[in-house]
Amino acid sequence: MPVNYTPLPGASANLVTGVRLAAVQAHVRKPNRYDMLVVELAEGSHVGGIFTQSRFAAAPVQVCRSHLKTSTAIRALVINTGIANAATGELGLANANATCDRVAKALAIKSSQVLPFSTGVILEHLPMDRIAFGVDAASDALKKNELADWQRAAQTIMTTDTVYKLSSAQVSLGGKTANITGIAKGAGMIQPNMATMLGFVFTDAAISPELLAPLSIALGNRSFNRITVDGDTSTNDSFIVVSTGRCGNEPIKSLDSADGKALHAALERVSVQLAQAIVRDGEGATKFMTIDVKGGRDFAECDKIARAVAHSPLVKTAFFASDPNLGRILAAVGYGAPADLDPAKVSVHLNGVLVAEKGGRAASYIEAQGAAVMKESEITVTIDLGRGSANQTIYTCDFSYDYVKINADYRS
């Protein structure tokens, strides 16, 4: 069961003008499940994206980067589950390109206007006969107007997710209502076998093409780049922002304009909800944790410390056990910290309760307060480094299961 997350019913998701969805059963790896989504984007659409930092980026990621390098005028996305087409060498690249060719032919667009995404097992090759079958079935559905709704789309890209991830918003831009809807899939904690996080946010707001790349970076840095599950970075991670420009607003030329800010904020809300949903659906997760580091000299040191705490199995198991084991948090801060950090200036709060300061337990702290906080399902750990004004926030979840038993028993 996800932690405090109930997916939006499909009927409540806003339609995004210019986005048409086809979901099919391509039998990529297993029968009787929707495993391919083709998204057709209206002419005039523009796309930005960010991708995994892995040096073994999967073939579809390489193709996405290549297609986005020459133009943002993308007209279709094709997403399959089952096989990730990662670490598949030259043949993998050829298969990803062939998938785009097939979509392009079916939709009468250029292959370079298609972005491919795959998620599933690594090191295996796509079954190209089934991929072709799926693409053709999807394009038939689009032609016959047998469209999938957002819920079906979100379900189609699921792998080990226990719930689909769907978020939606509207924003008024110069009197026009712009729709925003996003879907995501993700490997929660302890179920990272897919090793892939995919996020897609669509809006019918018009945005100048050159803004799509910086917008996707800015949104990603506040959402999908702020979550961590097990510290593993996948070969296929992708986050895509699509603007169809069909809602009728005056195209946004700057993200600093009033409309730019309003749209940016709404897109960020949707992106953050989707990213957090991935953490909330971590297999076995019982708590949603926000690691908030502030008072740092620069972003990098805040980010490093926040991730050290978020990745620490010791911290995660203590949270599962509802054990206010502050020492584990301080230990993780200690090894994530720069060499010149003064431990005496660091303070730690748990949901607003001051628990540690001056290198040890806070004088005012009573363990019963910490125990009460630890029973909650949403816990914010605030770490003030006391040496500057930089900050970073990371979202993560606890570690549960027998893995935890030994750790959980220790304090009793």
- Site for a second copy contains 232 (CB under 8 A): yes
- What the block records as the tokens of 113 is 């206007």
Q: How many CA atoms lie within 13 A of 162 on its CB side?
A: 17
Do the bridges between strand 288-296 and strand 360-361 make them parallel or antiparallel, or are there none, so unpaired? unpaired
- Distance in Å, CB of 311 to a second copy, minimum: 7
Q: Residue 323 in contact with residue 374, Cβ under 8 Å?
A: yes
- Site for a second copy contains 234 (CB under 8 A): yes
Nearer to a second copy by Cβ, of 56 and 299: the residue is 56
Nearest to 57 by CA among 185, 201, 233, 193: 233
- Site for a second copy contains 126 (CB under 8 A): no
Of 33-41, 87-95, 130-138, 244-252, the window that binds a second copy (rule: CB under 8 A) is: 87-95
Contact positions with a second copy (CB under 8 A) in 261-280: none
Of 41-49, 74-82, 249-257, 351-359, the window that binds a second copy (rule: CB under 8 A) is: 351-359
DSSP state of 124: -
Nearer to a second copy by Cβ, of 232 and 378: the residue is 232
- Distance in Å, CB of 283 to a second copy, minimum: 6
- Site for a second copy contains 84 (CB under 8 A): yes
Do the bridges between strand 238-243 and strand 360-361 make them parallel or antiparallel, or are there none, so unpaired? unpaired
- Distance in Å, CB of 330 to a second copy, minimum: 4
- Site for a second copy contains 235 (CB under 8 A): yes
Coil, strand or helix: which one is 116?
A: strand
Cα dihedral 47/48/52/56 (nearest 10): 60
- Site for a second copy contains 28 (CB under 8 A): no
- Site for a second copy contains 21 (CB under 8 A): no
Catalytic site residue from 119, 156, 196, 317: 196
**Which residues lie below 8 Å from residue 382, measured CB to CB, with a gap of 6+?**
292, 294, 348, 349, 350, 352
Coil, strand or helix: which one is 166?
A: strand
The site string for a second copy over 185-214 (x = CB under 8 A, - otherwise) reads: -----xxxx-x-------------------
- Site for a second copy contains 54 (CB under 8 A): yes
Q: SS3 sequence, 8-56? A: CCHHHCCCCCCEEEEEECCCCCCCCCCCEEEEEECCCCEEEEEECCCCC
Q: For residues 11 and 191, give the distance between their C-alpha atoms in angstroms, rounded to a whole number.
A: 29
Nearer to a second copy by Cβ, of 107 and 373: the residue is 373
The site string for a second copy over 306-335 (x = CB under 8 A, - otherwise) reads: -----xxxx--x-------xxxx-xxxxxx
Coil, strand or helix: which one is 197?
A: strand
Q: For residues 369 and 374, give the distance between their C-alpha atoms in angstroms, rounded to a whole number.
A: 9
Nearer to a second copy by Cβ, of 244 and 396: the residue is 396
Annotated active-site residue 196? The verdict is: yes
- Distance in Å, CB of 276 to a second copy, minimum: 21
- Site for a second copy contains 402 (CB under 8 A): yes
Q: Which residues pair with 83 in a beta bridge?
A: 121
> For a second copy, which residue of 105, 261, 358, 375 counts as binding (CB under 8 A)?
358
- Site for a second copy contains 30 (CB under 8 A): no
Provide the 10 A C-beta neighbour count for residue 349: 18
Q: Which residue has the tokens 């932690």?
A: 3
Of 15-23, 373-381, 387-395, 403-411, the window that binds a second copy (rule: CB under 8 A) is: 403-411
> For a second copy, which residue of 6, 32, 55, 412 counts as binding (CB under 8 A)?
55
- Site for a second copy contains 233 (CB under 8 A): yes
- Distance in Å, CB of 196 to a second copy, minimum: 10
Q: Residue 79 in contact with residue 243, Cβ under 8 Å?
A: no
Nearer to a second copy by Cβ, of 87 and 217: the residue is 87
Nearer to a second copy by Cβ, of 10 and 284: the residue is 284
- Site for a second copy contains 283 (CB under 8 A): yes
DSSP state of 224: G
**Which residues lie below 8 Å from residue 134, measured CB to CB, with a gap of 6+?**
24, 25, 26, 27, 28, 35, 36, 80
Q: Which residues bind a second copy (CB under 8 A)?
A: 52-57, 84, 86-92, 121-123, 160, 190-193, 195, 230-235, 283, 311-314, 317, 325-328, 330-335, 337-339, 341, 343-344, 356, 358-361, 399, 401-403, 406-407, 410-411
Where in the sequence numbering do the catalytic residues fall? 196
